[in-house]
Amino acid sequence: MKGLLKNLGLILIVIGAIILVCCAFVGNVNDNAILGTSIALVVVGLISYIIINKRITD
């Protein structure tokens, strides 16, 4: 469980990046809701990655 929690930030960043790549391939880059959600996932993932890895040490 600690390993999954440690990688939670990276998982959120990857999910946000996959959403952005899928939107670019489909050509749906004008939908602000999808783009806002994906950038929010990337930012929250980055912040959680920093905070969680400062708190959890093996």
User: Cα–Cα distance between 28 and 13 in angstroms, integer?
Assistant: 20
* Residues 1 and 55 sit within 8 Å (Cβ to Cβ): no
pLDDT tens string for the chain (58 positions)?
A: 777 778 888 999 999 999 999 998 998 888 889 889 999 999 999 999 999 888 876 5
Global pTM exceeds 0.85: no
Residue 27's pLDDT is 83
Q: What is the DSSP string of 1-58?
A: -HHHHHTHHHHHHHHHHHHHHHHHHHT----HHHHHHHHHHHHHHHHHHHHHHHH---
